Structure 1
């Protein structure tokens, strides 16, 4: 800022916005003075220092939200502001841009452009807005309505709208995804189950995620059609025997989805019955024979059947039961019962494939239905069978194994080496044996003191005087609660030094004796000579 020599001129070079303001000049002479009117000097600048903001200030905006862009710039005069989307001019001007209910196509780069018509300058600032459509609740569909076991491959598809970033599946029964028979597509949208099994049935769910939300489908019930199989007719058993004139209800069941259709045949002839139960009222001889339950699944188009023979004057398969589950020797009586129904003619018993009769401590009841063992002992243990005879033949029970608990008997201790007197420092092994069922528990004692050695065999290393004496083996049976003991004495031999001393004493005595005899003989010789 410069002033001329006569002060008439004020020169501002390279004007700045700070130079703006009200200017006045004042003149005076010796007789008077005066002040000019104010002159407003405006310096135009800008636009510059732009600011652009988005509200709400989120990284992504959900479809349907309302957003506001605010734009400002330093400028005089105030700038003309216009908006552009991806380079295209929008029909809104000014410092504020409002978008109500944003759509996915509102995503892009938003530019605020400022223009000062006095400075002729332009400037702009850009920000991006990403509009995301939230995922909807997914729906699962199947390409096959009624898949059949071992026959079909099923593809389940998870469908949802929105900007999906990830799809996941929740399978029933803790089934693992991507096992040998279940495969997911690369994008996880589809799930393929090859050669479906009945175990694949259950509730399937899928989940979808976006960057702003996630949703889970309702359970999709996958039903695998299978069967019929495992056809059963009850009452169960190889044969059942009934009395003429009685009533009989046969019930047929099968594993099948959907439920199977039933019809009945008697000796190959179809009966007028299509339910799972068939009832015979006042049974006659014409009602006897082979009853067949014929089962059909209209989805799998498969058939299955089971047959049951119905007769009269027969017997059931006998079964043996015992009055005592765990008999102990010489501790009571055991009764075996041969349970059989029907027209029974006779019963025979065997033990270990040998026929039984009233011998020893065994007694048969009248009709041989029960076998009583008095004062039971170990010899009575074994495999028992009973065979029942009826008008149509005989039937034998399954083997019934009778255990008899006994012992322990008096133990026997075997020493190795088999001597009782041992040298100092020698090793010895003691083995205790006792007849017992179940096997006994062993405990050893030395001179009445317990040894921590619950084993059948006791090894004594480096025998000394402090570990010689009375060794006792104690046996115990947890079933009979009986205890039995046996003892053995171990000794050390006398010292070798003492034995050597005794031998040397005898030798000295013998030498002295010989010298005495020689002296006496010499004296007698010289006496006779004189």
Structure 2
């Protein structure tokens, strides 16, 4: 028998080993499923069944739970009676389903069925049962009995004679009321916060459950007023000359309509309840403070407002100064305003011009220059009764730092917002450019109304070579420019801080201010984490795997629960949606470096297997060559069976021809023992067997 024949007989053995490995891991599994809906609504007093079916194992043990409380326990097919908490209501079917007889309202709950079979684990399915009664006799009431505008709140609530409400809806004049800053929808009521006159109208409550729908209504009137009184003098003018006639009116909104009366000098003036006071042939002694009082006679609310009558009246308030850009953001326009009064106030800027002035509202336009930058200018306001002034300072744009923010819109696309604000007076106008091209507002780019913010929609984070944007803040006194080079997702720094026991680590990281980041993958390499009961879950990995995801605003995370006797490695991957940035520095925690036990065992088992495979392959090749040579060789000596002489073949480093076909010299086995770095070439593909003793017949 040749070696080839022996190798052929071993083939079925190898096939059997492969088949045995292929069928490992096959097992049965107990499966339970619902034979009907898992959310069941029932009317009180009816019969209802939570139906289940199972497969994968015969006669499993069944336990039904109401919430966390077991109510039925039984083994399917068992002759022993089931253990039932309430036999008047509950009944278990032969297939494990749970039936409620004359189901009461108290049976509304979450139910869980567990089926177990020894050696096959546990199967679980959950149900929700809700029991209802029909809603009857709904009435509405209000607290307090009447509503006044400006109070803290008023409440509408309903009561029912019978029934279970699944959904309630409150409506005001046909529109649904939802919880907001003005309304608070509670379980059986709606609260109107800070009621006002607009809350007057019809309120409706709509109550429903799966079996009927009922509505109830109430009309509510909110009492209000009086509002802020509106005082008016007719004829309307800033002052009155001695001997003229005029009338003062006082009106305000309210419900019911408020009444009015005038007071002057501490006395109530007659014939003024309608809110109108007529003055004829006025004298200087009638100048002064006039007060109007409005009264809501139902709520007793009072409002007062006063006015002053003068012969000469200065402009109200104080002068207002400002500076604005003019003529295409090239010139400065100084403004001073103090309108009203008789005569009108004369306004001027003495530090800017000695000849220009105006009455009431005065503007002065000058060419922008460096000497105006930071200079405080005073507006002088001159009136016969009073002199006043105001100040204004023009400033060129100051240095600033842009800010970059990243969000994801409703379509899952990246939106980058760049914000540039520079303190300046007049307010600086911001312009935007990308590279050397100006950016205009459109679909991709959106510039805010005040030009200080640029939004880049559907941002392409992979385009790293065209991410330079420039914002330029400009007013007539100067320009400030900042370039923003947007980066892809990246991390500038990271650190790892373990707790004292080595079971928890805190991983922190920093992001460059112009980096576009929407989230972070927290990755780990090493054994699986411990469970909460500090038992090691099976499995380990020599590759990084994501164990957490953090949003783009996060800068730290905690990892639980580590085994202090094992080695873990952590890193953070920044992301801009689907684009990954360069990982952070790898942080290692655990004992010293080295191979794990399973790795060492695998290497130890693999070395002899590899050597055996190489020897078998070399022997097979040698047999093939030997048989092929032997067929072509002729016998040169007569064969004699008398005497046998054992000759041991010896290796000779020099070439020789022992066979008719000739053989090459064997390879240098000492060279094969060298390390890969010591060899000058690749390993030989043919490895002959060690020297063999050959019997020669003489």
**TM interval, short-chain normalised:** 0.3 to 0.5
Larger gyration radius, structure 1 or structure 2: 1
More strand by percentage: 1
Higher relative contact order (CA 8 A, sep 6+): 1
TM-score under structure 2 normalisation?
0.31
TM-score under structure 1 normalisation?
0.39
